[in-house]
Amino acid sequence: MHKVIYDTDPGVDDAMALLFLHRHPEIDLIGITTVFGNASVETTTRNALFLKREWNIPAPVAKGASVTVDPTREERTWPTFVHGENGLGNIEVPETVDLPLDPRPAHRFIIDTVRANPGEVRLVAVGRMTNLAMAIKEDPEIAGLVKDVVIMGGNFYVPGNVSPVAEANIHGDPEAADIVLTAPWKVAVIGLDVTAITTMSRGYLADIAAKGDGAVKLLNDLSQDYIDFYKHAVEDGMMVHDSCACVYVVAPELFSIVSGPVRVVCGGIADGQTIVKPDGRRFPPGDWDGLPSQVVCTGIESEKVIGLIRDTLLRT
């Protein structure tokens, strides 16, 4: 079993990934930590509690960061045109959900859980990397206790989606992402190189919902506005960004990779750009030297990934 802490900012594709993690037979979802990004952290936390309640997920929820690790960064407006005003595609969600939160802030929950399960925890982060950066800054020794980190974020050989060179999760807190990617733990980066070519059509999701239970029907309902948003890029469908990272946890063989140290540009017109120095390539001395080699996914067997998502969502 893969012990997973899911760091998330629900978020429509976050919701699909959450149901995948909850239902996959090889995953033990031991915690959900929230972060600001697709909406405020108050909204993303409410959404996590709502999905926990609706889908009967036993994992505790811990509320996380509300601002970037560099507090001088100016917060941008929430991407309501992507995920809706409430972060879940404008379906009806109560203002408050009567479920308890873990009393610890998300980064402390991560530290404590990793220390209680040395060598076992996989951190799957599909939003801004702020909680992970805060955890590693507060307790650097957890880098040697985490099994690995899998993130949805970045772009390497394809354009960005919030600027010509930057992907949204990294661009939202570049300093945090650079801390996470340069820390001495294993990181696998699942970015736009693979997620932007892995799409699920409206009809395919509707077919899953027709065959599935109420949980999948709710997922289908909250995904409709998100699919509408993607009309500019996908023919009546959506990119399943965050689920790709979750699939990597159980089926890394469906991805092709390069490896090497990764840095994030912080500031300027390339703010949030992710750059890998491929292992085996020689360059003059620079800012990638002496840093850990990380895994960067550059290829994906999209049809098999979508099929695995489908089969997992249909499990009860």
The residues annotated with a catalytic role in the active site are 241
Exposed, middle or buried: residue 251 (CB in 10 Å: 0-12, 13-18, 19+)? Answer: middle
Interacting residues of 267 by C-beta distance below 8 A, sequence separation 6+: 174
Long-range residue pairs from 116-122, CB within 8 A, at least 24 positions apart, any chain: 117/3, 117/30, 118/145, 119/145, 119/147, 120/3, 120/147, 121/3, 121/4, 121/5, 121/30, 121/145, 121/146, 121/147, 122/2, 122/3, 122/4, 122/5, 122/146, 122/147, 122/148, 122/149, 122/150, 122/249
Structure-block tokens of residue 176 = 């945090």
CA 208 and chain centroid, separation: 22
Report the run of H or E that residue 239 belongs to, with start and end.
Answer: strand 237-239
Cα separation, 154 vs 167, whole angstroms:
5
Structure-block tokens of residue 166 = 């930057």
Structure-block tokens of residue 179 = 């801390």
